[in-house]
Amino acid sequence: MRKRGWVRHAHPPSVGQESEQQAMNEPLLSVRDFSVVYDVDPPVEAVSHVTLELQRGEVLGLAGESGCGKTTLAYGVQRLLKAPAVITSGSVVFHDASGDDVDLGALDAEQMRRFRWDKVSMVFQGAMNALNPVAPIGSQLEDVFEVHRPRMSARQRRAEVAELLEIVKVGAQRARSFPHELSGGMRQRVMIAMALALRPQLMVMDEPTTALDVLVQREILRQISQLRHEFGFSVIFITHDLPLLLEISDRIAIMREGEIVELDTAERIWTDPQNDYTKTLLSSFPRLTGERGVVAR
């Protein structure tokens, strides 16, 4: 069935791979010398002079221990930070598919509100518990279109919601369900549907699978990967789970104390890490194979 409004990649395998590789050589987001300080006593520099570039169609993993600045960086790039957080330096430029370069720091509050969800969407940490418990999930998804696509008719909104729920494999029949009637995995799929609603070019995902069991987590990750290949959006995936990022990412940025200490392809991060902190992170996860160790008593 053809999905209305969605541009799927329908090339033969060889052509599709070439097209995807070409797209991943085009920048989508450029972050330069970006710093965030929490203005407390004493001030805390949460993000320190970060520079990175996200390619179109790429999955960029952002890894590091809790408190290293991953979420602050993601919020800061989208200007979602609240006091006492202050952006003290740097620029963020979004390279729109239309060909326009958008300086996010130069947008006023209303322009930034319209930009979010339309061009860049976010699945927040613990998002599956953020649904309104007294409203059906269909009406909550319709709210996105009411706010950002006010000219759509009620019939069009319902059709879009049904389509989104089918895309994330929740099922259109669930539109009338309340959040408590869904499993954790299904609620997370609804949040992904909400993030996909306006066909963004970039989706930022902050620990989207942390509260899920391993099997459901894998299903969600397969779903994200499939949707990314079908619709061509980029992903910034934030987690402390480095092995997970090695599996799903094209490149990985390792953060420590507000700085990116290493940025490379997932393969090179795994086979030839250059930074000692990256090596420490890799060694902190148990391996399924290898010699048995002896636990000291």
| Consecutive 10-residue averages of pLDDT for the chain (297 residues) | 41 39 78 97 96 96 94 95 96 95 95 92 80 94 94 96 94 95 91 93 90 82 89 93 91 97 96 95 74 52
Whether residue 188 is contained in a domain is answered as yes
Instruction: Report whether the peptide linkage leading into residue 179 is cis, meaning its omega lies within 30 degrees of zero.
Output: no
Torsion of CA 172, 176, 181, 186, to 10 degrees: 30
Q: Which domain holds residue 186?
A: 131-199
Task: Specify if 162 maps to a domain.
Answer: yes
Residue 82's pLDDT is what?
93
pLDDT at position 5, please?
A: 47
In a domain, 142, yes or no: yes
Residue 64 lies in a domain: no
1 domain residue, yes or no: no
User: Is 195 part of a structural domain of the chain?
Assistant: yes
pLDDT, tens digit (0-9, with 9 covering 90-100), for 232-242:
999 999 998 88
Domain tally, the chain:
1
Do you find a cis peptide bond into 133, omega within 30 degrees of 0? Answer: no
pLDDT tens readout for residues 113-137: 989 989 999 998 776 678 999 999 9
pTM of the model: 0.86
- Any domain includes 172: yes
**Predicted pLDDT of residue 248:** 92
- Asked if the structure places residue 49 within a domain, the reply is no
